[in-house]
Amino acid sequence: MGAVCCCFVSPIDFDGEVNLYHFDLHRAVGKGAFGKVRVVEHKRSKKLYALKYIDKAKCIRQKAVANIIQERRLLEEVDHPFVVNMRYAFQDDENCFFVLDLMLGGDLRFHMERRGGIEEHVVRFWVAEIASALEYLHQQRIIHRDLKPDNILLDAMGHAHITDFNVAIHYSERRMHTSVAGSMAYMAPEVLGRKGYTWYIDWWSLGITAYELLFQRRPFEGRSVDKMTHSIMKDTLKFPENAVAKCSPEGIEVLRSLLDRNPSHRLGCKSNGQGIVDIQQHPWFTSIDWQALEAKESQPPFVPDMKKANFDVTHELDEFLMVEKPLTHSKRKVNPDLEKMKPEIREMEEQFTVYDFSSSKRMSYYPHNLPIVSTGHDPESDEPAPLQSQTNTWIPSVTGGERSLAGSPALDTSHQYMPPVPIPISGRADQ
């Protein structure tokens, strides 16, 4: 009598801590520096999400552990209609996992490049939704620091959402930040000038983003760090010759106001203004019903074509061709000995904690009493040394993999991550 082989599958404990076994793994839709982003389905709720997974070994090699933990903590504080919100967080022996709102509509750079131009009324709608999200983040004392078309994702309906918080930080009410982080072409002059900055830098980045969406170019360019720095700090804001054909005078005025080098005069930041109320009351936004917009009841003027892939479809090929190891469900080691772990692995074990939006209460990690410590650059040097964010390689919406930004100088990638906000993580301090 032949032997009978029986495969026994352990039942899934949906009432226990969330883990990868709670999800069915579907197609890869993005590729990053430490892993991929793929569509997953929660086995019990049948809801679809985006799973962003981070290879611990690669993360350690690039000295990004503190930033991954910081991103995990920041996302726990955030829940907004126009943000890519975290729904679950957990880890296994090889990876850390973020389970995020699924955005299959592509990012704004993808659509800008595909369409060759974005109509003014579409840009206005996106700017309004992102302005709502920025106001919320700033109320949470969070500066995004890397707003750009790549980091704004559309859902299937066409609503815009901010993603990628890997260089985001909390701001202090008592002291300005001086570190240089993000994508240089979108950095505010007060970041590059190291004069100190706070939340108002995000409004400058929104201005650069809106300008680029409208005109398919950025207002300040340079093929080297020095040239781009000079352009951002000194060059007069100019508009293309065909600007009046693409944008109304009211829209041009919004761009000028967002790209004011004096932060106290910048739209949304005026010292005697009302923040986002100044934006809402600007003539350019007369057509926006802000109450309906913030309730996500307004009809987006652009709806992505969901019959087409709104991302680079080659992300799955590496696994099919066995170039890299595919993601699989795997059980964790039982009762691991923390004392015998490498410091970075132990840090992730202890600090990248489990989160489940259906049962966990969102917490604030804002460090009320810790000072802002500026590190990561030579305090004796007047020359800025911008540090590129990982978003050129970490695009959850899946658009171009490891794509460089056209017109951006090559920045020093040996220090791709900025240390996080001042929280007690291995003694490291934020900038």
Active site positions, annotated: 146
The answer to whether 60 and 112 are in contact (CB under 8 A) is no
Read out DSSP for 229-271? HHHHHHPPP---TTHHHHS-HHHHHHHHHHT-SSGGGSTTT-T
The distance of Cα 212 from the centroid of its chain, to the nearest Å, equals 18
The greatest distance separating any two alpha carbons of the chain, rounded to the nearest whole angstrom, comes to: 88
d(CA 293, CA 300): 9
Q: How many CA atoms lie within 13 A of 368 on its CB side?
A: 1
What is the rounded distance in angstroms from the CA atom of residue 216 to the CA atom of residue 108? 11
Provide the angle, in degrees to the nearest 10, between the axes of the packed helices 120-139 and 201-215.
170
Q: Is 52 one of the annotated binding-site residues? A: yes
Mark out the alpha helices in 261-315 (DSSP H runs).
276-280, 290-294
Paired tokens of 332: 């964790």
Tell me if 310 sits within 8 A of 154, measured CB to CB: yes
Q: From residue 226, give the alpha-carbon distance in Å to each of 190, 192, 246, 262.
A: 15, 11, 31, 21
* Residue whose tokens read 């604030």: 364
Rg for the chain (alpha carbons), in Å? 22
Task: Check: CB of residue 166 under 8 Å from CB of residue 71.
Answer: yes
- What does 72-141 look like in DSSP terms, one character per residue? HHHHHT---TTB--EEEEEE-SSEEEEEE----S-BHHHHHHHHS---HHHHHHHHHHHHHHHHHHHHTT
Residue written as token pair 């054909």: 245
Cα distance between residue 33 and residue 157, in whole Å: 29
Which residues sit in the known binding site? 52
Which residues sit in the known binding site for ATP? 52
